[in-house]
Structure 1
C-alpha cells in the first residue's frame, strides 16, 4: 500500500482580522496617536536624556537648586524627578580645622555631643553635617602672650611680644535625625569650636573674603583686631620692660576673658561697659586673680604692689577682647544671641572704635619707636584706621549673615547624554511605550466589539461560506455533508471538531417528517 503523507503541522500562525464596525475608530486612532506620541516623547526626553554623575560642592543647597535642567515648575520638572539631584552629608571628625561660610576665623572642632531623653550626655566622635545653619554662643576669649621661647624666631624678630587670640564657642544644629525626641533641645546636636587669630603668624589663614561693602561688620572686626593686636603687644612689652620681668624676651602670659554677667539676655549698656569682662590671668610677673578690667587698671595685684600686674595694658585688652568676641559672633552668624553684637549696630560700633584714630596716630608717631613697642610691624592701611562715624552717608550694611560650616559634599547631579545616544534611547523607548498603548487600546476595543454582538468572532469569508453551504442541494443517500458549523470563537483555523457529520438519509427523513 501507498503510505499516506500527512501535512506537517504549522509552527507559526497568523491572525484573521476584519474591520471594526465603528466609524469613530479611525479619527480616534489618529488623534490618540498624536497625543500618545507627544506625551510619551515628553516623558522620555525628561527621564532618559540624563545621567546622574558625582560632583563635589561646598554649597549643596545651591547645587540642588541649580541641578534641575527644567527648573522647578511645570510638567518636565515633575517628570524629571527620576533623575533628581541629591547630596550626601559630610562627616567632620573631632580636631578637624574649618571655616564658616563667612571665611573670617579658622576653627577647630573640639567636641560633639547630644542630650539623651534621660538628661545624660552622649559624646560623639564626629559631626554628621548637611549644611544646616548653626546657632552659636561665644563663651570665652583667651589672649596668650608669646615670647622668644613660645614663638618662632622669625616672629620674635618682627615683634618681641606675640599675641595668640583664641575663642571658645558652643554651637548647636538640628540635624533632623532624632524626630522622636520629646523636645527641640533633645533633637539638637551640640559641638564646641575653638577659633584662633595671630596677626604675626601668616601660616594661620584668616579673613579670606575681605569686603568693606558686602561684609562691613567683618571688615571692621578685622581692622580692630589688626590694630589692637599691635597696640596691646606694644603696651605689654613696654610694661614688662619697665619692670624688668620680660627684659630678656621671656614673655609668657595667659589672659582669660569671660562674660561678667550671667543674665540670659544682655543689653547695649552691658557690652559698652568696661565691666563686660571677668578676667582671670597669669603673667611672668604674678597671678592676676579673678577681677574686672577697672580693678586691674588700678594696678592692684594680689600682693598689693602698685605696678603689678601691668596696669596700663587693660584698656587695650578690653577693646581687643571685645573685637575678638564680636568678630567671632559675626563670623558665626549671630546678631543677638544672648547679647547684642557690637559690630552689627552703628551706635555700638562707634563706641567700640572710638579710640581707633588716636591709637593709630600714636603707633605711627615718632615717639612710638621700636624700642618702646618692641615691634617692626606697621599699620595695615588697607583696613580702616579711623573711628567709625555713624552720621556719615551712605552707611555700610552692618550685620551678621547666617553662617554654615564650610566643607565639601558629594552630590549626584543630572548631566545630559550625547545627542546621538539621547535620540536613539528616546526612539527605542517611544516604540516600546506606543506598542503597549496600542495593545491596551485593541484589547479594550475587541472586548467592546464582542459585547456589541457583531459576529466579531467570524471572519467575513467564513460567514459567506457558511451561508452557501447551508443552501447547497441534498446529495445521494448514504453520503455525508457539512450541515452545521460551530462558531469560530477565539480560533485561528478550522479542524474536524468544528463541523458535525450527518447523512443525507437523516436529512431526507427529517424533511419527510416535517412535510
Structure 2
C-alpha cells in the first residue's frame, strides 16, 4: 500500500461528561463574541472625507462595537484634522456675511499684563466668542479739486477700514483674533460684499448692508458740503470711531470715542471737530450700524445691537439723534441740492433690482417689515473644510466573508486550546488514555497494561 508523506491522527472520545455541552455552548458564545470583535475590525475601513461640520462628524461617526473592549486598538475612531488658522488668512463665518482677514493672533501668558503673539493656531470649528467692532476708520479722499460745495460724488474715492476682535477656544486654550474687516462700503446700491443677504432668512444682514451703505453715502454728502475756504478744500483725512468698552448702550454718544484729522489742499492740517461736526454725526450712526452688522455676522448676540428687534430697527433706519436727517437738517427729505440724493435717502425694496424700485428710508419700516423674515442672531463659526477619517462599511458580501474567515481562525485557536486543557487532564482521569478505542479489551490492551 502506498504511504503518503502526510499522516492523520487517530482519535477517541473524551471521557468527560462536561466536554460536549461546554464545546457546544462555548462555540455559540464565542461565535457571537468573535463576530462582534470582527465586525469592527474586519467589516469596516477608514474613508477620508471633507466636511464643514467636524464636531457633528466626531460625535456620530463611531459605533459601540468599534470601541474597546471589542476593538482594543480603537483604530476606527473618527478623527478630523483641524484647520491651521494663520495671520493673513481670510474667511467668512457660518452666517455667510462679511469677509475678514486675520491681522493678529494672541494668547494670554502667565503674566496677565502680557500676551504672546502666535503666527497660527489650530482651529476645529469652535464658536466665536466675545466679538465686537474695535474701531471703524472712515478714510475720506476728495476726488475733485472744487473748492465750493458740491455733492457726495466729490468724495467717491473714500473708503472704510474696520477692525474687529474675537476670542476662540483652541488646543492652546483661548486665543484672541484681531480681524480686519473687508467691507465694500459701496455708495451705490451694491451689496455683493456679503455672501448671503436673503431678506427672509438673513433679515438682519439685509437691513444692515442697506443702511450702512446709505449712511456712508450720507457721510460723503455732508463732507461735500463743507466750505473750507474760497481757494482750498479738505483733500484727505480720517474720522475714527473707537469702541469704548465701558459704555454698553449702543445708542449712547459715548459708545464710540471719536478722533479725526484732515489735511487741506494747501497743506494745512485741520483737527477742528466743529468744521466736521455734521460728517462726524453721520459717521457715528454708520459706526453703530457697522458694529451691529458685524455682531450679527460674528454671532455676538448678547452685545448691544440695533438690528435685532423692531424698536432697534426703527432707530437704525432713522436715528433721532442724527440732526442731519431731521426736519431742517442737511440730509432731510429728498435733499434736492445734493444731486442723486437717493444714495442716502432711499434703499431698494427686498428682492428688487439694486438701482430701481427705491423706497424712502422713513417709509421702509412700514412697507418692508410685513414681508421680511425675523431679525435674528445665532452662534457663528469660521467656514472651512476639514479632512476627516470616518469608518465606512464594506459591501455586505465582503463584510460577511471577512467576518466568517476571521471567526474560523479564532474558533480554531479556541478549539486547540480546549483540546490542550482536556488532554492535560486525561492521564489522571483515564488510565487507557494512550490506547485507541478499537484496541480496548483486546490482547494488545492486556500486553500494554502488563508492560507498565
Give the TM-score taking structure 2 as reference length: 0.76
Change (3 A) 1:375 1:30: same
> Which of residues 362, 377, 380 is equivalent to 2:348?
380
Query: Structure 1 pair 41/331, CA: closer, same or farther in 2 (3 Å)?
Result: same
In the alignment, what sits opposite 1:342? 306
**Partners in 2 of 1:196 and 1:468 — Cα distance?**
100
> Does residue 333 of structure 1 match 2:299?
yes
2:180 corresponds to which of 184, 190, 194 = 194
1:274 Cα offset (Å) = 2.9
User: CA–CA distance in 2 between the matches of 1:52 and 1:350?
Assistant: 54
Q: Are the structure 2 counterparts of residues 138 and 450 from structure 1 closer, same or farther at C-alpha, using a change threshold of 3 Å?
A: farther
Deviation at 1:467, TM superposition (A): 6.9
Q: Does 1:256 align with 2:224?
A: no
Tell me whether 1:103 sits opposite 2:96 in the alignment: yes
**CA separation of 1:66 and 1:232: change in aligned 2, threshold 3 A:** farther
Alpha-carbon separation, structure 1, partners of 2:48 and 2:279: 55
2:205 counterpart of 1:218:
yes
Aligned to 2:288: 322
The superposition leaves residues 92-141 of structure 1 with CA deviations (integer Å, 9 ceiling, x where unpaired) of: 22112111222211111111222332454332222221222222343211
Partner of 2:258: 279
| Correspondence for 1:404 among 351, 365, 381 | 381
Q: Cα distance, 1:444 vs. partner?
A: 3.7
CA displacement, residues 225-280 of structure 1 (integer Å, 9 cap, x when unaligned): 2322333333333336997755xxx85331110134x52xx44xx32123322111
Matched, 1:60 2:54: yes
* Pair member with larger Rg: 1
Whether contact under 8 Å (1:233, 1:373) holds in the other structure is no
Aligned to 2:169: 174
What residue number does 1:209 align with?
196
1:459 lines up with 2:425 in the alignment: no
Contact 1:109 1:192 in 2 (8 A): yes
Distance 1:228 1:377, change over 3 A: closer
Displacement of 1:16 in angstroms is 3.5
Q: Residue 140 of structure 2 contacts residue 155 of structure 2 at CA under 8 Å; is this kept in 1?
A: no
Distance in 2 (alpha carbons) for counterparts of 1:417 and 1:329:
46
Name stretches of at least 5 consecutive residues in structure 2 with no aligned partner: 145-150, 352-358
- Equivalent residue pairs, number: 421
Residues 174 and 188, structure 1, Cα contact 8 Å, conserved in 2:
yes
Matches within 5 A, 1:19-30: 19-30=13-24
- When residues 67 and 287 of structure 1 are mapped into structure 2, their CA distance, relative to the original with a 3 A threshold, is farther
- Contact 1:115-1:121 at 8 Å conserved across structures: yes
In structure 2, the CA distance between the partners of 1:245 and 1:63, relative to structure 1 (3 Å rule), is farther
- Answer whether contact 1:237 1:373 (CA < 8 A) is retained: no
SS in structure 1 at match of 2:139: strand
- CA distance in 1 between counterparts of 2:435 and 2:395 reads 51
Q: How far 1:419 moved relative to its partner? A: 4.7
Residues 37-56 of structure 1 deviation map (CA, whole Å, 9 limit, x = unaligned): 34433433333233223222
8 Å CA contact 1:161, 1:237 repeated in 2: no
CA RMSD in angstroms, aligned pairs only:
4.3
CA drift of 1:342 comes to 3.1
Is 1:87 paired with 2:80? yes
1:466–1:485: 8 Å Cα contact kept in structure 2?
A: no
Cα deviation, residue 191, structure 1: 2.4
